[in-house]
Amino acid sequence: MKLLRRTLDTAYLIGGVIASFFLIAILVIIVLQMLARWTGQVFPGATDYAGYCMAAASFFAFAYALNHGAHIRVSILLTALGRHRKWGEIWCFGIGTAISTWFAWYAIRGNQISLRFNELSQGLDATPIWIPQLSMSIGTVLLAVAFWDHLIRLIVTGSHGITTDLVDQSQGE
Amino acid sequence: MEQLIPIGIFLFVLFLLLGSGVWVGLALMGVAYVGMELFTSRPAGDAMITKIWSSSSSWTLTALPLFIWMGEILYRTRLSEDMFRGLSPWMARLPGGLVHTNIVGCTVFAAVSGSSAATLTTVGKMSIPELRKRNYPETMVIGTLAGAATLGLMIPPSLTLIVYGVTINESITKLFMAGVFPGLVLAALFMGYVAVTSFVSKDFDPDPEPPMSFTEKLRNSRFLIPVICLILVVIGSMYMGWATATEAAAFGVIGSMLLAATQGSLTWGTFSESLMGAVRTSAMIALILAGASFLSLSMGFTGIPRGLADLIASWELSRFQLLMALLVFYVVLGCFLDGISSVVLTMAVVEPMIRAAGIDLIWFGIFIVVVVEMAQITPPIGFNLFVLQGMTGHEMNFIARAAIPMFLIMVVMVFVLIAFPDLATWLPDNIRKGPAS
Amino acid sequence: EKWDMPMAYAATNFHSEVGAAFASCVTEGTGGELEIVTHPSGSLFGGAEIKRAVMTGQAMIGERLMSAHQNENPLYGVDSIPFLVSSFDEHEELWSIAEPYVSDALAEDNLHYLYSVPWPPQGLYTNKPIEDISDLKGLKFRSYSTATAKMAELTGMLPVQVEAAELSQALATGVAESFISSGATGYDRKVWEQLSNFYEVDAWLPRNAVFVNADAWSDLSDESKSVMNDCASTAAADGLQRSKDYTDFTLEELEKNGMTVERANDTLMGQLKEMGEVMTNEWLEEAGEDGKAIVDAYKGE
Ligand code: NA
Ligand code: NA
């Protein structure tokens, strides 16, 4: 049980770390593209690669952001529920689990469609689109897993285990 | 309208999901799904992925995480403190005190970034802690920030104006120039509001700044030099033709890292914290954008925005009536859609109305921007509200209420624009060349 | 039944207007049995998504710039081989040969080809007069595709990659100093604010194709199909005429706003044609037998 817990939390964190590499990659690509332009070179497909990195930097971090309470929601009603809050949370995590699972399912399907039709990028890079789309499939699956994880924990232990990041919330102090 | 029942269901689901506390991005997806199922027989899931992939992997979006990262770095340097040390001796004497730094900061940063979210995170990360430290009323701090950050869309460069210009084939250079004066006027209106409230409101009782002689004030201004350099580098890179508006964000990140390094605050710890902070914030925004793009597709299939625009067209209104009708229309639409989507979804019907009424399309672009700015701060779907919620941890209704005065000021701005159309049209009419030539 | 028709360009663009006329032609012709609703400006699906959306039935019908997909199949780029044709009439000749091949290629992607309309011919925008190909050397040239990147390489221009959305800003700030596009782009983007010369070199005439999801097509009744086909041929003819008219109109507008609009002189045109020869051969290498058959048949005529 403990091992499973550690594995899952590590998986979300790794997602976040991978996303951060892609964020750095966006910076590097943009800088290279500018250098190329100033020196009269071409960096074919730079904008497309930056776009793929953008997608990867988002999708890989979805679960990580959820785990740190970074995804936002309107919690007036939940607060108002007081000691019955658990039932409100179960509703929220239930809906979240359903939608994120549906999202992941179709992300994989969409990825397969790109592979089946051999869709190529329309830019200079001519990348087979299914390759960068893997970030979407993996990231959304990770998000769905995170939702199932929190939902089950919520039902079993009564608490969902999302810790709001102190650094994020303490900016005021 | 036989569509009344489906529209009702649609709105019900929207309020149910958002109101009950489902995460915003996922709630939007859920609503969009219901819309697809109600209004079209096309496969909802496949269409969603097509749309979400293309919106999430877009090149123009890359500036957003970079500007957010820049904000995270600056927030972890002494830069924000320094900026306030430099500004406070000058601003503190103004009625409203340091709240003005929110507005001035947003105005300046608006000239660097094309989006309101990036403006909001960068300025907010720096100013919120400093203003709270000095006991400024929270509603004032949050409200002015929510409102002033929307200047990112009006003061060039502006993503909204690019989309508008491409949609109706107007010169983007001209649109950009048209935004300059209205942007400054709107900023002035915000500052005027702050000044007046500081006299009227009892809550407005910040800690006084220590008195300072003029030479001391000047000496303290040296702390502003690094910030000014950074801003000059980012803006300069665009106007000197070194970088496009998107690439300028890279200058911002590297510049702020260099700044942090010279101050000695760039350690492995601050670097990785800023990076991971940026990853979390941009993932949060990306999930909402993904949901919003699917919702916009779903709305396109439902035909609701276009139907409403058609309805207005059928009333055959006078010029002023038309503008008022469109104001109400876009405010209502702006409650549920992001600004760019509402422009794209309706322009096909609205553009001919505007041309027929003899309204200048450059001027109308600025009108649209003001309305889109309002959409950023109106609940239930208001982007700046979401970002501020993520940043401050306040409840949505608190932030939305804090932003109401800003919303009203923007309504006033619409009438100012109608009364003085030259505000928008004078600059583009009188300068034919681009900024660099 | 209601079909949504995503289109990439603004509602006032002539392609969108021809598409809207086609849609109402079908709606009326079938007595409302099949209603087509157009969604211009990429308001439903954006340009880059339209082909995928129609292939997989997310939309039943759509319009797309064909050459955007030439990475997937070089045949989609047959309309964009630089300097192979040099007028509307030559282009139509080439297209009449290529059309069945492209139609087959689309069929493999689960699409039924209906009709297509050419854009105005692509000309060269510069910020100074060009007499000879050597005048181009060192000019910052917007390259956005394999063909334009290759042109920069062959002429010694400095390629700068600029996205369509950033074109105006890139010209205003001097990031780009020249580019290839139709008179329409220059008119739409008001490039006379930055550039001085437009050369009619008729480099190529890209086409927008309208296609239907193949399954949806085969489910249609024979009557509906024949209505669609009739409306399609009206739209194609109408679109061609409007493209020609629009070319004249936009070039006049460029001139009115102070640009020098002229045909490239014989020396320059000859040099460009030579370059075109190189690029045609490169395209042929990729396009295989079908490509060779098209170009041979075209040159043989
Ligand atoms: Na801006
Ligand atoms: Na809103």
Residue B416 has pLDDT above 50, yes or no: yes
A25 C-alpha to ligand 1 centroid (Å): 25
Dist. CA B402–CA B386, nearest whole Å: 13
What Rg value do the Cα atoms of chain C yield, rounded?
A: 19
Per-residue pLDDT, B224 = 82
pTM equals 0.87
Residue B432 has pLDDT above 70, yes or no: no
At B126, is the pLDDT very low, low, confident or very high (cuts 50, 70, 90)?
A: confident
Residue B437 has pLDDT above 50, yes or no: no
Q: Count A/B contacts: CB-CB distance under 8 Å.
A: 203
CA-CA distances (angstroms) from residue A19 to A4, A100, A138, A162, C280? 23, 19, 12, 20, 42
| Structure token pair of residue A44 | 């074919």
The Cα of C103 is separated from the nearest Cα of chain B by a number of Å equal to 24
Dist. CA B310–CA A153, nearest whole Å: 50
The Cα of C60 is separated from the nearest Cα of chain B by a number of Å equal to 9
3-state secondary structure of B108: helix
Q: Where are the domains of chain B?
A: 27-429
pLDDT above 90 coverage of chain C, percent: 70
A2 C-alpha to ligand 2 centroid (Å): 44
Per-residue pLDDT, A168 = 39
Label residues C218-252 b or e (16+ Cβ within 10 Å = b). eebeeebeebbeebbeebbebbbebbeebbebbbe
- B433 part of contact set with chain C, CB < 8 Å: yes
Per-residue pLDDT, B2 = 59
Residue B3 has pLDDT above 80, yes or no: no
The residue-averaged pLDDT of B318-332 equals: 90
- A46 part of contact set with chain C, CB < 8 Å: yes
The Cα of C293 is separated from the nearest Cα of chain B by a number of Å equal to 35
Which tens digits make up the pLDDT trace of B360-394?
Answer: 999 999 999 999 889 889 988 888 898 898 888 88
The residue behind tokens 């299914």 is A130
Which residue in C71, C108, C137 has the most chain A C-beta atoms within 10 A of its own C-beta, making it the best mutation to test that interface?
C71
Dist. CA C102–CA C106, nearest whole Å: 6
DSSP chain C: -EEEEE--S-TTSHHHHHHHHHHHHHHHHTTTSSEEEEETTTTSS-HHHHHHHHHTTSSSEEEEEGGGGTTT-GGGGGGG-TTS--SHHHHHHHHHHHHHHHHHHHHHTTEEEEEEEEPPPEEEEESS--SSGGGGTT-EEE--SHHHHHHHHHHT-EEE---GGGHHHHHHTTS-SBEEEEHHHHHHTTGGGT--EEEE------EEEEEEEHHHHHHS-HHHHHHHHHHHHHHHHHHHHHHHHHHHHHHHHHHHTT-EEEEPPHHHHHHHHHHHHHHHHHHHHHHHHHHHHHHHHHHH-
User: Is C71 in Cβ contact with A122 (below 8 Å)?
Assistant: yes
Contacting chains of B (3 CB pairs or more, <8 Å) are A, C
The Cα of C39 is separated from the nearest Cα of chain B by a number of Å equal to 8
User: Is C11 in Cβ contact with B173 (below 8 Å)?
Assistant: no
The Cα of C146 is separated from the nearest Cα of chain A by a number of Å equal to 6
User: Is B380 in Cβ contact with A74 (below 8 Å)?
Assistant: yes
B159 C-alpha to ligand 2 centroid (Å): 17
- Range name among C87-91, C124-128, C149-153 with the lowest pLDDT average: C149-153
The residue-averaged pLDDT of C213-241 equals: 96
| Structure token pair of residue C300 | 């043989």
The residue-averaged pLDDT of C261-282 equals: 91
- B149 part of contact set with chain C, CB < 8 Å: no
Of the ligands numbered here, which is closest to the C-alpha atom of B376? 2
Which tens digits make up the pLDDT trace of B197-209?
Answer: 988 877 777 777 7
List CB contacts (< 8 A) between C48 and chain A: 122
Residue B411 has pLDDT above 50, yes or no: yes
User: Is A33 in Cβ contact with B247 (below 8 Å)?
Assistant: yes
Per-residue pLDDT, A76 = 74
At C211, is the pLDDT very low, low, confident or very high (cuts 50, 70, 90)?
A: very high
Of the ligands numbered here, which is closest to the C-alpha atom of B112? 1
User: Is C45 in Cβ contact with B297 (below 8 Å)?
Assistant: yes
- C144 part of contact set with chain B, CB < 8 Å: no
User: Is C55 in Cβ contact with A117 (below 8 Å)?
Assistant: yes
Per-residue pLDDT, B173 = 73
User: Is C163 in Cβ contact with B437 (below 8 Å)?
Assistant: no
Q: Do residues B163 and B344 touch, judged by C-beta distance below 8 A?
A: yes
User: Is C48 in Cβ contact with A117 (below 8 Å)?
Assistant: no
Q: Where are the domains of chain A?
A: 2-162
Per-residue pLDDT, A134 = 98
3-state secondary structure of B231: helix
Q: What is the 3-state secondary structure (H, E, C) of chain A?
A: CHHHHHHHHHHHHHHHHHHHHHHHHHHHHHHHHHHHHHCCCCCCCHHHHHHHHHHHHHHCCHHHHHHCCCCCCCCHHHHHCHHHHHHHHHHHHHHHHHHHHHHHHHHHHHHHHHHHCCCECCCCCCCECHHHHHHHHHHHHHHHHHHHHHHHHHHHHCCCCCCCCHHHHHHHC
Residue B119 has pLDDT above 80, yes or no: yes
Label residues B397-431 b or e (16+ Cβ within 10 Å = b). ebbbebbebbbebbeebbebbeeebebbbebbeee
Which phi-psi region, left, alpha or beta, contains residue C42 (left: φ > 0; alpha: ψ -120 to 50)?
left
For residue B258, how many other CB atoms are within 10 A of its CB?
Answer: 15
Q: Which residues contact C282 (CB under 8 A, 6 or more apart)?
A: C150
For residue C61, how many other CB atoms are within 10 A of its CB?
Answer: 30
User: Is A113 in Cβ contact with B395 (below 8 Å)?
Assistant: no
- A117 part of contact set with chain C, CB < 8 Å: yes
Of the ligands numbered here, which is closest to the C-alpha atom of B152? 1
The Cα of B143 is separated from the nearest Cα of chain A by a number of Å equal to 15
List CB contacts (< 8 A) between B21 and chain A: 73-78, 88-89, 91-92
User: Is B240 in Cβ contact with C58 (below 8 Å)?
Assistant: no
Residue C5 has pLDDT above 90, yes or no: yes
Tell me what the pLDDT averaged over chain C comes to. 91
Which candidate from B243, B273, B282 shows the least CB-CB separation from A58?
B282
Dist. CA A61–CA A72, nearest whole Å: 14
User: Is C162 in Cβ contact with B297 (below 8 Å)?
Assistant: no
Of the ligands numbered here, which is closest to the C-alpha atom of B150? 1
Which tens digits make up the pLDDT trace of B33-73?
Answer: 999 998 888 999 999 999 999 989 988 788 888 888 988 88
B400 C-alpha to ligand 1 centroid (Å): 23
Across chain A, which has 173 residues, the per-10-residue mean pLDDT values are 91 97 97 88 86 97 93 80 90 97 98 94 90 98 97 89 50 24
Q: Largest Cα–Cα distance of chain C, in whole Å?
A: 60
CA-CA distances (angstroms) from residue B167 to A97, B170, B171, B365, B395? 38, 8, 11, 11, 36
List CB contacts (< 8 A) between B54 and chain C: 46, 48-49
Which candidate from A16, A57, A75 shows the least CB-CB separation from B21?
A75
List CB contacts (< 8 A) between A117 and chain C: 52, 55-56, 109-110
Q: Which residues contact B418 (CB under 8 A, 6 or more apart)?
A: B320, B323
Which residue in C58, C161, C173, C175 has the most chain A C-beta atoms within 10 A of its own C-beta, making it the best mutation to test that interface?
C161
Of the ligands numbered here, which is closest to the C-alpha atom of B336? 2
Of the ligands numbered here, which is closest to the C-alpha atom of B146? 2
User: Is C46 in Cβ contact with B54 (below 8 Å)?
Assistant: yes
Beta-carbon-side half-sphere exposure of residue A5 (alpha carbons within 13 Å): 6
- Range name among A13-27, A78-92, B211-225, C173-187 with the lowest pLDDT average: B211-225
Tell me what the pLDDT averaged over chain B comes to. 85
Residue B348 has pLDDT above 80, yes or no: no
List CB contacts (< 8 A) between A106 and chain B: 45-46, 48-49
- Range name among A134-138, B245-249, C60-64, C149-153 with the lowest pLDDT average: B245-249
Contacting chains of C (3 CB pairs or more, <8 Å) are A, B
B188 C-alpha to ligand 2 centroid (Å): 23
The Cα of B175 is separated from the nearest Cα of chain A by a number of Å equal to 25
